[in-house]
Amino acid sequence: HWTRICARLQAEVGEVEYRTWLKQITIGPVDGDEITLNLPTRFLRDWVRSQYGDRLSTLWNAEIPEIRRVELQVARADGPAAVSPSPSVAADVATGADDRGAAPAAPAAEDRVPENRNDLAAPLDPRFTFDTFVVGKPNEFAYACARRVAERPSSPGFNPLFLYGGVGLGKTHLMHAIGSELVRGGAVSVAYMSAEKFMYRFIAAIRSQSTMEFKEQLRSVDVLMIDDLQFLIGKDNTQEEFFHTFNALVDAGRQIVVSADKSPSDLSGLEDRLRTRLGCGMVADIHATTFELRISILESKAAASGVAVPGKVLEFLAHKITSNVRELEGALNRLIAHANLFGRPVTLEATQDVLHDILKAHDRRVTIEEIQRKVSEHWNIRLTDMSSARRARAVARPRQVAMYLAKQLTSRSLPEIGRKFGNRDHTTVMHAVARVTELMERDTAFAEDVELLRRMLES
């Protein structure tokens, strides 16, 4: 029952909310028409009760009609009830390098919330440094700005530093690099967190009536970095809080670094005054990678791994996986893991094999227009005949092949494909697909023609 209820809740509230609040529930005894659910802290219990109490009752009742009430209680999953103090946001702001090591030290056993839910501060990832960041045309400006801020924080003109760009292009990496560099230099307190965590901490502070503490903590840092600010779109209260924190810090001469997926002016949904302030320091754009940059990144990561990866393989990957560096890195890591596990050299064939799922997802998108063009060239008919009403075999057969290939190589639906072929009906497309399949089975020369076309279109 509980597994089903959990699945429902997860679907209703989303993964993040589910993990943050609901996943920590454990089931207690049933007594008459009441079931007891346990949460590890009072704070969590109050929060879950106020936000999800009714829903939990309803879902339990739907599963087991005898159950009419849900009692929420503070208890460890593995033992008797223990009341923990409300979480202190004080612990959330990482201050200097020392705090990172100190974080796990000493909370008494009963204060430890499973999976450290309340400790929302993100430590700096030691892998994300300036040394490991590969610089190229698309990111050199952002890199230079980040370096500058790490060398001389709070310089006029560089505060705030606003980094923006698409997913997986190195924004988080650069922020961590700035943080690590500053912390290494000492005497600077750095707080890095995602905008999402900023919000959860803010909410937690409100619930535990420690907003003053939270604000003081935030306003006592030398450098505040908020990652993925676009998350705050639509979260007006949190935006408001961030705006005040932002002003207090900048006025006090502290450095702010913010990242987002768009420029301040394109972040519609953020308050105007916040957008204006975000844009008045340095705004640096990280552009999509170029082939050259992808090769440099792959070379650098391959060298660091100690596994010999042939240049051909690196080129192949840089050609195929163009969307973002994270995926490129993921593909290379898998290759390296394979090489290490099986002690086999990395070859182009092995790469295609090991990465076939990733490569498939990255296959170049073929358009229906391209298919029509190639097919008409191949059989020497006019491109307009792809959409014409002519039914002569010499025209109709290639048109069917083009429909077949459109179905195979694009994600377009049958009606969409039909429309591109002179507004034909989807049943016509369906018939074409069936007809071509059948012919390919019977006629090997024809099958070879179609396969050749497919390969040309896919490469």
Q: Return binding residues for ATP.
A: 168, 170-172
Rounded Cα gap, residues 265 and 267, in angstroms = 6
Residues 310-349 vs ligand ADP: string with x where CB under 6 A?
---------------xx--x--------------------
To the nearest whole angstrom, how small is the minimum distance from the Cβ of residue 260 to Mg ion?
10
Tokens of 341: 């596990």
Burial 350-384 (b: 16+ CB within 10 A, else e): bbeebbeebbeebeeebebebbbebbbebbebeee
Which tokens go with 196?
């999402």
Which listed option, ligand ADP, Mg ion, none, makes contact with residue 169 (CB within 5 to 8 Å by class)?
ligand ADP
Taking contact as CB under 5 A, which single stretch among the options 168-176, 279-287, 327-335, 373-381 is the one that binds Mg ion?
168-176
Q: Which stretch binds Mg ion (CB under 5 A): 40-48, 117-125, 164-172, 425-433?
A: 164-172
Q: Does 294 bind ligand ADP (CB under 6 A)?
A: no
**Of positions 76, 171, 294, 420, contacts ligand ADP by CB under 6 A:** 171
- Min CB(290)–ligand ADP separation in Å: 11
How far apart CA 439 and CA 254 sit, in angstroms, is 72
For residues 394 to 433, the per-residue mask of contacts with ligand ADP, x marking binding by CB under 6 A and - elsewhere, is ----------------------------------------
Give the rounded distance of the alpha carbon of 364 from its chain centre: 22
* Shortest CB 298 distance to Mg ion, Å: 20
Contact 352, 346 (CB under 8 A): no
Out of 117, 173, 407, 454, the residue judged to bind ligand ADP by CB under 6 A: 173
Distance CA 378, CA 414 (A): 23
Question: Helix, strand or coil for residue 100?
Answer: helix
**Span 123-142, contacts to ligand ADP by CB under 6 A:** 128, 132-134, 139
Two tokens, residue 99: 């705090």
**Contacts of 31 by beta carbon, 8 Å cutoff, 6+ apart:** none
CA distance 296 to 136: 8
Amino acid at 248: A
Does 172 help bind Mg ion (rule: CB under 5 A)? yes
The residue count for binding Mg ion (CB under 5 A) is 2
Ranges of H-type helices in 252-324: 272-278, 291-305, 311-320
297 binding partner (options Mg ion, ligand ADP, none; Cβ < 5 to 8 Å by kind): ligand ADP
The residue from 7, 167, 394, 452 that contacts ligand ADP (CB under 6 A) is 167
- What gap in Å lies between CA 53 and CA 337, rounded to an integer? 46
Give phi and psi for 17, each to the nearest 5.
-60, -40
Q: Pick the binder of ligand ADP from 168, 279, 310, 422 (CB under 6 A).
A: 168
- Residue 168 binds which of Mg ion, ligand ADP, none (CB < 5-8 A, kind-dependent): ligand ADP
How many angstroms separate the CA atoms of 26 and 38, rounded? 5
Distance CA 37, CA 118 (A): 20
Quick one: what does residue 133 bind among ligand ADP, Mg ion, none, with the CB cut-off 5 to 8 Å set by partner type? Answer: ligand ADP
Q: Which residue number is nearest to ligand ADP in terms of Cβ?
A: 170
Q: Does 172 bind ligand ADP (CB under 6 A)?
A: yes
Q: How far is the CB of 142 from ligand ADP (least distance, A)?
A: 9
Q: Which residues here bind ligand ADP, judged by CB under 6 A?
A: 128, 132-134, 139, 165, 167-173, 297, 325-326, 329
